[in-house]
A and B are shown apart, each in its own frame.
Chain A
Amino acid sequence: MSEPAHPDRLSDEQFRERFRAWLAANYPAELKQDSHRPFRRLRGDAAVAWLRRVRQAGWRAPAWPREYGGMGLSFRKQLIYHEELEHAGVARIIDLGETQLGPTLIQCGSEAQKAHYLPRILSCEDVWCQGYSEPGAGSDLASLRTSAVREGEAFIVNGQKIWTTHATDSTHIFTLVRTGKFAKKQQGISFLLIDLATPGITVRPIVNLAGEDEFCEVFFDNVRVPAAQLVGELDQGWTVAKALLGYERIWIGSPALAGKALELARTLVEELALTNDAGVMDRLAQLAADLHDYRLLYAEICDSIADGGKPGPDVSMLKVYASELLHRLTEFNQEVAAESGGIVGDARIGGALTDLHWQFMMARPVTIFAGANEIQRDILAKTVLGLPAEASARN
């Protein structure tokens, strides 16, 4: 059978074949991304059920070291892993425990935190969401105000988080909270792990413009959090949170979604018999060429990391390009469908069943979250290109 058992002993290509075969045999056909739902996503019970199956077969947590229960893959094999997920049409899962908190704990957590939380993330016993943003602290995250005051062996947390994706599906939240006041506002922030079942926490779902309850507000009213839930040093949470940002931007920059959107674009153009329409074909060709270029850029940056480099500030380029390409692709899909582009829910276009509204709406916020594109361009200008900082623009 296709077990990953010792991926180190497999060549990259052997590894690819094994994983591909395993996905083909195990991923449920009805959950695949296709022209109906190109950005299909699993959440809640469906996500947990699939992740448990992945774990049983030994394919969980490709980036985590083996000693913590992960696969310990080289960066190159991680890339292959993600390519195969895309190839097989496996739905996206926002599993912040695996992709964000786990690696953070492995790098900055105490032995007790690692021993307690990491296995529970792998088994999906704990499901984590990210509590960083606040109503007054979006792009300017360091101005966050939710406070944690030490009282004996606990912190007392008061304040509010917002835009917390899938908080209603989660058991725990990792937060940035204010523990001290310093001249530099990035100081005095701490990284705190909080069980959402703790008394004093209220979670209120927020409906988005597609009518889905995707994100939430989380209120903290005198919430007692054991002091042992602090990750890293007191007041050093900013550094803890930043440690993995580069890797996050790499995975967010993946061309997978844009690839699915382009497949849909091709299907639409064929089904609508627009292949003789020069204007439409010109735009489609431009999009295809841009995606092709982008895949090369992505591969180049990933290769340099696979060869031992670390993600640098230039990964902001990935986020900007991938998100704007996704905007253009989903706009194209909606526009070529003309009258059908305004239909909400399933629509039959020629022989294809698709949901243009959903793909369009899912793509709207990508230029906003995980560092708005204006902020990413700021980073590119200052850190990569060395252009001077605007006086007092950032503090």
Chain B
Amino acid sequence: MSRDNDDIAGPLGDQLARLFAKTVTREALVAAEHNVFDAALWNEISEIGAALALAAESVGGAGLAWAQADGLLQLLGSQLPPVPLGETMLAAWVLGLAGIEAPAAPLAVAGALLQIDGDGCVSGDDALVSWAPQAQVIVAVAQGAGARQLVLLSTLDAELTPQRTLDRLPAARARFRGARPLQAVAAPAVLGETGLLAPLAVLRALQLAGSLSQVLALCIDYANTRSQFGKTIGKFQAIQHQIAELAELSAAAQVAAGYAARQLDGGDAAAAERGAAVAKIRAAASATRGAAIAHQVFGAIGTTDEHLLHYHTRRLWQWRDEAGSDGWWAERLGRQALAAGAAALWTGITASAP
């Protein structure tokens, strides 16, 4: 995780952006929503090495820090490649921290904390695992007697109930009953009580921030194009004010998601969880209001299936609800603030963050 890695993150991001611009067409998005896995896109991504961008160099990864990969993780939200790249990057990162090389395949991540018994068998439920129907392996954290274990589970050992979701991408409720993991190791220290939910929330926050920035660009473009009453609607202050608010919401989500990425890099579980909570609450609130603004700017055309806007807004609504809703994280953050006491609050907020 050296500064030199900035030299890798930049070109990698550029390469991905070009790849997505070329391949993430409307047809590709529609196909993915009909359960067709985009193997060609996945192969190109693998060749570039993006799936292992966050994994340690010792396990064959590029060893980028989350903060360095901030921009390319946001591409997942701004350009919407319909493959589990974010999940796979996250999984390869955490496996790398545990010294394990990630399987060379698309991976799914369960945010819920599972249980592991004395025989090393895993049980538990996750209400919604994105991409589980198309992945062979789910990465999860399971609580044992005392220690938490990072486990690789075969989807063949899971009882999967596919769910239709707002983003129309593959997802399932996953149930494990005494599943024997493909691999199990002590969970890395950065994963606290909430296991993989915190990094998953950070990933969703980064995706939300990326999507919001793209929605902002779409709104500006449309407001400068659509004409009513003899002028472009972008000339009406009612529209200008809403788009300005959207810009604020988008910026706030980016700052919060970037903060959370740095907390993950810091390696401290409590700080990482606080960062995740802050980022998910902020990005989710931005998503709710931001999607409403975008639809208002676009009027009727934005409510059609033919228009591209809903590929973003449906994901804004979906990601907002996933990996702990803003209400859930807010409750947790609030309880922690209360438990830490009044004196700790101000220093907690103002401590110079890494």
Contacts and interface: CB of A to CB of B under 8 A. Distances in A.
A368 B306 CA distance: 18
Interface string A359-393: 01000110111001110011000000000001011
Interface stretch (B50-58, B77-85, B313-321): B313-321
A342 B128 contact: yes
Interface string A192-220: 00000000000000111101000100000
Contact of A335 (B163, B230, B327, B331): B327
Interface string B163-175: 1111110000000
A6 interface: no
Interface residues of B, number: 42
Interface in B217-242: 227-230, 236-239
A343 B167 CA distance: 9
A208 B304 CA distance: 4
Contacts of B167: 342
Contacts of A339: 127-128, 321-322, 325
A280 interface: yes
A392 B230 CA distance: 9
B325 to A, nearest CB: 4
Interface stretch (B152-160, B264-272, B288-296): B288-296
B295 A364 contact: yes
Interface in A323-357: 327, 331, 334-345, 357
Nearest to A283: B327
Interface stretch (A122-130, A132-140, A240-248, A305-313): A132-140
Contacts of A365: 295, 300, 303
B303 A208 contact: yes
B7 interface: no
A277 interface: yes
A245 B354 CA distance: 59
A133 to B, nearest CB: 7
Contact of A207 (B165, B230, B304, B318): B304
A394 B230 CA distance: 8
Contacts of A360: 317
A153 B323 CA distance: 66
A390 B239 CA distance: 14
B-side binding surface: helix, strand, loop or mixed? helix
A20 B321 CA distance: 40
> Quick one: which of B128, B292, B327 has the most chain A CB within 10 A?
B327
A369 B299 CA distance: 8
A280 B164 contact: no
Interface string B58-96: 000000000000000000000000000000000000000
Contacts of B334: 279
B305 interface: yes
B166 A342 contact: yes
B310 interface: yes
B127 A340 contact: yes
Contacts of A56: none
B326 interface: yes
Contacts of B163: 343
Contacts of B320: 335
B321 A395 contact: no
Chain A at the B interface: SS class: mixed
B306 A336 contact: no
Contact of A334 (B227, B321, B322): B321
Given A207-B306, A335-B321, A368-B303, A345 B288 contact: no
B317 A342 contact: yes
Interface residues of A, number: 48
A191 interface: no
Contacts of A279: 327, 330-331, 334
B304 A343 contact: no
B334 to A, nearest CB: 8
Contacts of B325: 335, 338-339, 341
Contacts of B305: 206-209, 211
A163 interface: yes
B165 A368 contact: no
B304 A206 contact: yes
A228 B291 CA distance: 46
A134 to B, nearest CB: 11
Given A206-B306, A338-B327, A341-B325, A139 B314 contact: no
Contacts of B306: 206-207
Nearest to A341: B321
A138 B166 contact: no
B111 to A, nearest CB: 9
A374 B236 contact: yes
Contacts of B164: 343-345
B39 to A, nearest CB: 25
A338 B300 contact: no
Given A138-B228, A395-B229, A209 B310 contact: yes
Interface in B237-275: 237-239
Nearest to B168: A344
A392 B231 CA distance: 10
11 contacts: A138-B300, A140-B230, A279-B331, A335-B327, A336-B327, A338-B324, A342-B322, A344-B166, A377-B238, A378-B238, A390-B237
Interface of A: 133, 136, 138-140, 143, 162-163, 206-209, 211, 215, 277, 279-280, 327, 331, 334-345, 357, 360, 364-365, 367-369, 372-374, 377-378, 390, 392-395
Closest 4 CB pairs of A and B: A207-B305, A140-B228, A338-B325, A344-B164
